[in-house]
Chain A
Amino acid sequence: MLLSLDDVKRVANLARIEVSEDEAHTTLAQLSGIFGLIEQMQAVNTSAVKPMSHAQDVMQRLREDVVTEIDQREMFQSIAPQVEMGLYLVPKVIE
């Protein structure tokens, strides 16, 4: 698969990462290298291999449904740039 400069910019925008024109070119080259590796791997016949979603072959551990957390709002909000009435304040977002 061939990656274009536009793809790189689009993904950067979706991830909210600011990239300059130069950085976009560098990133394109790096990502294309990674894509090359993936292409190599995809050439391997894996029809007999069970797909896995995680590198470790173990199952998810489950928690009992009990409330174990206490209210630590004050501590958490002590590092927030701005709070009011218990709310975290952020620059206005309207959709």
Chain B
Amino acid sequence: MQWEIVIGLEVHTQLSTQSKIFSGASIAFGAAPNSEACAVDLALPGVLPVLNRGAVERAIKLGLAVGGKINPLSIFARKNYFYPDLPKGYQISQYELPVIEGGSVKIQVGRDGNEQEKTIRLTRAHLEEDAGKSLHEDFHGMTGIDLNRAGTPLLEIVSEPDLRSSAEAVAYAKTLHSLVRWIGICDGNMQEGSFRCDANISVRPHGSDRLGTRCEIKNLNSFRFLEKAIDYEARRQIEILEDGGTIHQQTRLYDSDRDETRAMRSKEDAQDYRYFPDPDLLPLEITESWIAEIQGSLPELPQRMRERLERDYGLSGYDATTLTADREIAEYYEAVVDKLPSDPKLCANWVMGEIFSYLNNEGKFFDSCPLSPLQLAQLLMRIKDGTISGKIAKEVLRQMWLQASSAKVDVSTWKSRDSRFDENLADRIIESQGLKQISDSGELEKLIDEVVAANSKSVEEFKAGKEKAFNSLVGQVMKAAKGKANPAQVNDILRKKLLE
């Protein structure tokens, strides 16, 4: 039988605030255990939660970015369960009236000329607090509790079951990951747990419109694990069904060492969270004017920018998607085009090609690129004005990279302190290494004469009508000029000479 996999994702994004969602304690990562757990986070008697404006602002940003409904009134609820890293005995979350409802995210699926856009609907996004951390090792049979993370603001973004494969789930998660970083509500650091996914997975016979029984895989903190966990879980469910069995609704964990999922707890026991409105918190009011104010502060969204790059710069869908995958790439690219507006395609090729691979090799990101957009643009201008060829430009870039990397400029600041980057780096290297193209036609003619004299066979062949022989002669001239000749100019002179 043909099976269809149905996936919905719940993504927990940690909001990039300074302080916790209901207390004034810091959320900085990596602090000494419990040094950032205040009386509210510890649930000492008599404390009350006070909601962080910054967390709400970030939720509104997401609502605007996904075109969701921002509820004018939303309600906080208590989700009750017992675990030592949850000192209150309940997590403050939102249940009946979340801050955001609906909205959608567009993802690119398929590859190799088969790309398609698919719209994934969102169910909701709600604000909640994170729990603390339990450490089960090394405490002579006891469990150690660190409550630094307790009360960290989270926005849980829930999708509809619109995803049909692990590849689509990963594309969606990546798109969302890029979006939350783009609008500056989450740092997206997956190692530190700032962005984690729960996947709800079920399978059904192809063509059926009824959903199968689902299992939820908790806490997937990398795109690779998300993909592998879904693949494993779908296979597991299909095997059970094909053997005539039934799926039990369960929460499962993915074990990356064994590449399998296993049951964590059954939904039926202890999963009754007995939600009710938290009497410690009043309804959250979001006014039209507040939304308008935040709308005004939002950057151009990646989807919009992608369309603009295709429309205004004539870039392909692939190029536009790559350049908007990440806000740092996009900003860098835009800054290069700003200096060289006449050729956005050339800028795109170099940003996605050379710069990208240099950064990749060194494990760096665009915001810490040792070369500023202006420096790159200066180099590209020298290609445009015929000073150097594209091939030589790669060599110049290599040297620029070396020099800039060793100059130890505070590279995290190319955005704010462009003046600290040597603007004439490309020109200096071209000059000092004598890499300028031979523009003196007398010198070039001399070279060409030598090549023509030394390759009489090719010359004969060309005169007999073989165009290929011409290309080989051009190649010889370029070689003799050590790449410093302008190919178009060589073409012209050579053809003229041969036809004389």
Contact = CB atoms under 8 A, between A and B. Distances in A.
A76 B38 CA distance: 8
Given A60-B51, A66-B19, A87 B33 contact: yes
A89 B143 CA distance: 6
A76 B42 contact: yes
B303 to A, nearest CB: 28
A37 B32 CA distance: 51
Contacts of B279: 54-55
Contacts of A67: 18-19, 24-26
A40 to B, nearest CB: 20
Interface residues of A, number: 38
Interface stretch (A27-35, A41-49, A78-86): A78-86
B435 interface: no
A90 B285 contact: no
A63 B26 contact: no
B248 interface: no
16 contacts: A53-B283, A54-B282, A55-B279, A59-B283, A62-B56, A65-B17, A66-B24, A67-B26, A71-B35, A72-B38, A76-B37, A76-B39, A87-B34, A88-B145, A90-B145, A92-B136
Contact of B53 (A64, A68, A95): A64
A72 B44 CA distance: 13
A5 B122 CA distance: 41
Q: In terms of DSSP, what is the predominant structure of the interface of chain B?
A: loop
A79 to B, nearest CB: 9
Nearest to B277: A53
Contacts of A58: 282
A93 B81 CA distance: 14
A64 B55 CA distance: 10
B265 A59 contact: no
B50 interface: yes
Contacts of A88: 34, 84, 144-145, 147
A62 B53 contact: yes
A67 B142 CA distance: 32
B82 interface: yes
A92 B265 CA distance: 18
Contact of B18 (A60, A65, A73, A95): A65
A10 to B, nearest CB: 8
A69 B142 CA distance: 29
A82 B145 CA distance: 11
A62 B52 contact: yes
A59 B282 contact: yes
Given A56-B282, A77-B34, A90-B145, 19 more contacts: A11-B274, A14-B80, A16-B82, A53-B96, A54-B281, A60-B281, A61-B51, A63-B50, A65-B17, A67-B26, A71-B36, A73-B35, A76-B44, A86-B34, A86-B146, A88-B34, A88-B147, A90-B142, A93-B136
Contacts of B51: 60-63
Interface of B: 17-19, 23-26, 32-39, 42, 44, 50-56, 75, 80, 82-84, 96-97, 134-136, 139, 141-147, 264-265, 270, 272, 274, 277, 279, 281-285
Contacts of A93: 83-84, 134, 136, 143
Most chain B beta-carbon contacts within 10 A, residue among A53, A72, A92: A53
A65 B145 contact: no
A94 interface: yes
A73 B82 CA distance: 23
Contacts of B145: 87-90
Contacts of A91: 142-143
Most chain B beta-carbon contacts within 10 A, residue among A56, A64, A90: A90
A77 B361 CA distance: 47
A60 B42 CA distance: 22
B2 to A, nearest CB: 36
A54 B147 contact: no
A54 B277 contact: yes
A57 B97 CA distance: 17
A73 B38 CA distance: 8
A72 B39 CA distance: 9
A57 B272 CA distance: 29
A89 B140 CA distance: 10
B26 A69 contact: yes
